């Protein structure tokens, strides 16, 4: 069985679905091949912080109905440390921009429905086994057996562990930041009005609201820790300590419904294209979650690639496609740099010198308007 389409897309995350929607809206045929089931795709709990550029893309292309109805504007974050707590109203700093909090699983659900309404097709439960970049061909396996799909172009949107990135030759610049987080999802309302970053000698802790009844917490843990060893009692005790609840008030607690280890690593491919294959999102660059840039980078790249493909297919102009890597990579590296800046700010070092530097950075962020403007611009932007 061989499927033919114009643009073949591997992966039904935000990158692949935004790309597919933008192309379908222009009458360009697409096929999405996704290894997970539709239920899994639409229930995977991931980051929900959408930057202003992402909100613009979704709104301009008719993909923002759910976000506009249920998303919440967020423009304040807080830092806690040994010298107390301070808030930054970043909606009044830098360019005066805000985040929209909208759970990624809800966004993906919206994008799947819209894509199918626009005439797109998704092969859920199909595992890509091989990629040929020169002919824009993939081989995959699903419950019916082995299949082949071909297109004029192929978009690799299948993540950092996907197959498509292996088909792009060239250097992979990798950094292991030496930090691991226990990512916890609690069925509990938010305990603080703002996203809160807690800096403590025991390790970093973070508080991020996801919905009125669900809150994401992060705890820095030793690399290699088993999430199963973190009982609910141990998790809440560590959060109480690092969030300094005796000083700032108790957390609103509830059942822990998810716990997993996140290793803070970064990887950038250069180039992010080869022959008829173009990488988007985590397939092109993996970024640590310290600055919530992953989904926002993916959607930015999807819009750029869609525009380039439309130029090639509608106007016989492949120059934007040829420049895809050169266009995306400077933005990717700026996001990587700010992500690394956040890692250095939030995580304790083993020596007094670096602990004092971290404290000085927090003081500067608290007191310096220039430092605050820098933070605000990079925190919400790409």
Give the catalytic positions in this structure: 74, 197, 289, 293, 379
Cα 374 from Cα 382, distance rounded (Å): 13
Between CA 343 and CA 326 the distance in angstroms is 26
Pairing mode, strands 76-81 and 195-198: parallel
What angle, rounded to 10 degrees, do the helices at 294-315 and 324-346 form? Answer: 180
Kind and range of the H or E run holding 378: helix 369-380
Distance of CA 136 to the CA centre of its chain: 26
3-state secondary structure 257-285: EEEEEEEEEEEEECCCEECCEEECHHHCE
Q: Are strands 137-142 and 145-150 parallel, antiparallel or unpaired?
A: antiparallel
Strand partners, 260: 183
> Cis ω on the peptide bond leading into residue 215 (within 30° of 0)?
no
């Amino acid at each position: 069985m061989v499927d033919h389409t114009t643009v073949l897309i591997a992966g039904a995350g935000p990158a692949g679905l935004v790309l597919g929607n933008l192309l379908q809206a222009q009458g360009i045929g697409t096929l999405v091949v996704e290894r997970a089931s539709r239920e899994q795709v639409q229930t995977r709990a991931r980051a929900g912080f959408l930057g202003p550029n992402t909100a613009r893309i979704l709104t301009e292309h008719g993909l923002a109905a759910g976000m506009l109805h249920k998303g919440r504007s967020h423009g304040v974050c807080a830092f806690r440390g040994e010298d107390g707590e301070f808030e930054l109203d970043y909606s009044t700093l830098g360019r005066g921009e805000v985040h929209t909090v909208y759970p990624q699983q809800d966004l993906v659900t919206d994008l799947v429905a819209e894509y199918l309404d626009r005439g797109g097709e998704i092969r859920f439960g199909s595992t890509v086994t091989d990629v040929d970049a020169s002919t824009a061909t993939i081989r995959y396996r699903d419950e019916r057996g082995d299949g082949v799909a071909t297109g004029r172009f192929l978009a690799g949107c299948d993540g950092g562990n996907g197959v498509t990135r292996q088909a792009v030759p060239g250097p992979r610049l990798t950094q292991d930041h030496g930090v691991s987080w226990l990512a916890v999802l609690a069925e509990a309302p938010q305990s603080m009005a703002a996203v809160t970053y807690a800096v403590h000698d025991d390790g970093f802790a973070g508080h991020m609201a996801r919905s009125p009844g669900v809150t994401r917490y992060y705890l820095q843990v030793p690399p290699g820790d088993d999430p199963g060893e973190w009982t609910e009692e141990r998790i809440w005790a560590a959060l109480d300590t690092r969030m300094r609840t005796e000083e700032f008030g108790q957390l609103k607690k509830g059942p822990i419904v998810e716990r997993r280890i996140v290793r803070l690593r970064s990887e950038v491919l250069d180039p992010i294209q080869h022959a008829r294959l173009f990488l988007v999102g985590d397939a092109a660059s993996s970024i640590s979650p310290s600055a919530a840039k992953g989904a926002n980078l993916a959607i930015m790249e999807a819009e750029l690639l869609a525009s380039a493909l439309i130029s090639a297919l509608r106007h016989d102009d492949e120059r934007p496609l040829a420049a895809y890597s050169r266009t995306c990579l400077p933005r990717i590296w700026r996001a990587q740099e700010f992500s690394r800046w956040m890692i250095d700010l939030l995580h304790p070092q083993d020596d007094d010198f670096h602990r004092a530097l971290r404290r000085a950075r927090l003081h500067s962020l608290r007191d310096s308007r220039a430092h605050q403007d820098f933070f605000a611009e990079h925190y919400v932007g790409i």
